[in-house]
Amino acid sequence: MTFRIFLAFDVEHDQDLCDGIRANSGTQGVFEVAATSRGGEITEPWKKKAREQISATDQFVVACSEHTAASDHIAEEFRCAIEEEKPIVLLWSRREAMCTKPAGAKPTDVMYSWTPDILREQLVANQRKSEQPKVPERLKHSASSPPSLMSPEDSS
């Protein structure tokens, strides 16, 4: 399966990261960069276009650098990806720099080193997670009342 990804990156500082990831797109038939971050003023039409592009992809990948946390474009795209319930991969894309997560990322969100193999592994892992069947609410035990091993007749 080839994953169609939206690649978020800081358009003002990190075009080289986009180019590097795009160069690896399709080399092993695992992922293709279907859409990327765009510059420009963040207006309603800009947001609508970003949402359409993110919605049309399988997964959302952020090429993180030292500028990521300060990027309003990435923050808006990241928010869209969460709302669209897209699996997200954060890549530590500059080994020599202190890369930052996008605004809106949780402290528990992990950044993975950027290599084609690691990205492939994370995309596959995300796909497996999303394919796991959901447990219906009626089958879940509530945390406040553990299931009783005794039948109602035994308790009298």
As a whole number, mean pLDDT of residues 102-126 equals 93
Q: What percent of the chain has pLDDT over 70?
A: 87
pLDDT of residue 30: 83
pLDDT tops 80 at residue 147: no
Nearest to 89, CA basis, from 69, 66, 113 = 113
Residue 133 predicted with pLDDT over 80: no
* pLDDT-based confidence at residue 10 (cuts at 50, 70, 90): very high
Percent of the chain with pLDDT over 90: 67
| Averaged pLDDT score across all residues of the chain | 88
- Residue 151, pLDDT > 90, answer no
Q: What is the pLDDT of residue 93?
A: 93
CA distance 43 to 90: 25
**Coil vs helix vs strand at 63:** strand
The pLDDT tens digits of the residues spanning 21-40 come to 998 886 667 889 999 999 99
3-131 fold: Rossmann fold (3.40.50)
Band of the pLDDT at 55, cuts 50, 70, 90?
A: very high
* pLDDT on residue 8: 96
Total Cβ atoms within 10 A of residue 110: 11
End-to-end alpha carbon distance in the chain:
58
Write out the H or E segment, with its range, that includes residue 92. strand 88-92
